[in-house]
Amino acid sequence: MKILAYFMGNKVRSNSQYWLKIVIIIVILWGVFFRVTNIDKKIYWEDEVYTSLRVAGYKSYQISDKLFHGNIITNQDVLHFQILQPETTFNDTWQTLKTAPEHPPLYYILLRFWQDIFGSSITINRSLSIVFSLLCFPAIYWLALELFKDNFFGLIAVALISISPMQILYAQEARQYSLFTLTIILSSLFFLKAVKSNKIYDWLLYSFALTLVFYTSLLSVFLPIINTIYIYSIKVKNNFNIKLNFWKYTILSIIFFSPWIFIVLFNLTLLKNRTKWMYIDKSIFSLVYACFFNFTKLFVFSRVKEINWILTLIIIIFIIYCLYYLIKNTDKNIWLHCLLFAIIPTIALLLSDIIFGSIRSNLSRYLFPAYVSIYLTITYTFGTKIKLNSKIWSIIFCLFITIQLIYNSHLSSSEYSWNKEQHQSVLNLQIANIINDNQNSLVITQIDKSYRIAHFISLSYQLKPETKSLFLPEDTELKYYPEFPHIYLLNPSPFLMNKVKTVYNGTLEQKNELLYKVIINNQKSNN
């Protein structure tokens, strides 16, 4: 009877895991669907505009020369700088990339080649990020398999990363963060394999992957630090040879990355100027909460502040429990890797913010090394509990996935996500809706530090093609344009507002904090 009960129990566990694997595969397919749906309907925001400018090889002064001449231009004139043109060479792209030393060039170079093949559009630009995000699926499966030696754990890891709103969000942006995630995973994978085997082939793969991470983000500086602490904290055979190979191939990666290191060093002043926006004085409590809130946004987000407090508390407690469970039940070679990846980037960024008065730890896109660790840590807890036939944890897992499916369904139909709610791009959406309500409109605008050219280019993606624009420098005379029945002022100075009132013999009706409509001869607004 005991033998029969044993086999019956094994059969029940086998059947439950079989059906759970089916559920996980369905979840992964949903993750693919959420990445590819409506990618051309999302706001093409300022950061993506800068991506297109750099890839197309245009610098700010070239845009100024073409647009800031006081004559009427079309949307096509503005968006010209977002498209790879036959006259722009790869050298133009490279020279432009060097003017942004805070962003290593790998992603932008790959996007340049991608556009050479497929052309330039919102869909094509974002599709490369989708490709990198989808490649994260087999990569994290392989990494989970290397750590936990069980393909069931690998499937759970893929399910978690496939349905994570954070991963889906950045998979739909023409930015480098999906590539950053992929290269982090590959670097970690080949590092663990190299430490285990100590084969030259694996060390070469580790060095290559580490070089790719370096050329994707400057925040990859955390990886060799984490790996150094790890390799000096574990016990392995051939300890001296492994450490020697580690330093040899890590230094090799640094040598390969040295050309960009020199570019950064030669442009330190430029780098400081381009990153000074992140130096904001915040209280320690605000910094810590915002940092922890980033881990909540891995899985869910609410627009209600009080709900986010509760969600953050629940998620952080859950992550701490998963780390505890991992440490308690696995070998040091496993849990130390996950722990270091979770703690080192988070604490380092948080401490630097407290000391220097910045907000790096509050920016969700800066914590991707820690996110990879969190996915793996939660994977182990769910995988182990489910394999132990825990009904409660099976329900928790299904609830965990269901909440993210519901949230992603809402996110997929939205024109913007949580990382843009306080951004100019959302205000641009409101501005575009107002202007597009009329035909034959003219937008007169001025560019300054608060409303940059990238903001206007982002707006141009949303305006009707027939809408005309006029960039008016302070010293340029304003003409009367009777052919435009609807005239708007965007980000006008007091001087321009007075000039418009005089030339058009009218008044201004404020539509929002940046947009005014010119009311000629006291005519009533149609809006």
Residue with tokens 């496939």: 162
Question: What pLDDT band is residue 423 in, cutting at 50, 70 and 90?
Answer: confident
Distance CA 159, CA 174 (A): 23
Distance CA 354, CA 317 (A): 23
DSSP 477: P
Could you tell me the end-to-end alpha-carbon distance of the chain, in angstroms, rounded to an integer?
A: 81
Q: What count of other Cβ atoms lies within 10 Å of the Cβ of residue 191?
A: 28
Q: What percent of the chain has pLDDT over 90?
A: 57
Q: What count of other Cβ atoms lies within 10 Å of the Cβ of residue 516?
A: 21
pLDDT of residue 143: 97
Task: Say yes or no to pLDDT of 1 above 80.
Answer: no
Distance CA 468, CA 463 (A): 9
Q: Who wins on pLDDT, 267 or 476?
A: 267
Question: What pLDDT band is residue 378 in, cutting at 50, 70 and 90?
Answer: very high
Q: Which of 420, 381, 481, 376 is nearest to 140 (CA)?
A: 376
Q: Which of 383, 296, 386, 395 is nearest to 334 (CA)?
A: 383
**Residues 202 and 194: beta-carbon distance below 8 Å:** yes
For residue 177, the surrounding DSSP H or E stretch is helix 177-197
Task: Say yes or no to pLDDT of 348 above 80.
Answer: yes
Kindly list the distances between the CA atom of residue 218 and the CA atoms of 204, 210, 417, in Å, as whole numbers in the listed order. 21, 12, 25
Distance CA 322, CA 341 (A): 14
For residue 517, the surrounding DSSP H or E stretch is strand 515-520
pLDDT, the chain, mean: 89
Sheet holding 441-445, edge to edge: 73-74, 468-471, 441-445, 486-490, 515-520, 506-510
For residue 115, the surrounding DSSP H or E stretch is helix 106-118
Q: What is the DSSP string of 344-399?
A: HHHHHHHHHHHHHT--GGG-GGG-HHHHHHHHHHHHHHHHHHHHTT-HHHHHHHHH
pLDDT of residue 524: 42
Please report, for the chain, how many H helices and E strands are present, in that order.
22, 6
Nearest 5 degrees, angle CA 369-CA 375-CA 379?
A: 150
For residue 488, the surrounding DSSP H or E stretch is strand 486-490
Predicted TM-score (pTM) of this structure: 0.92
Distance CA 468, CA 443 (A): 6
Q: Which two tokens stand for residue 244?
A: 């020697």
Task: Say yes or no to pLDDT of 294 above 80.
Answer: yes
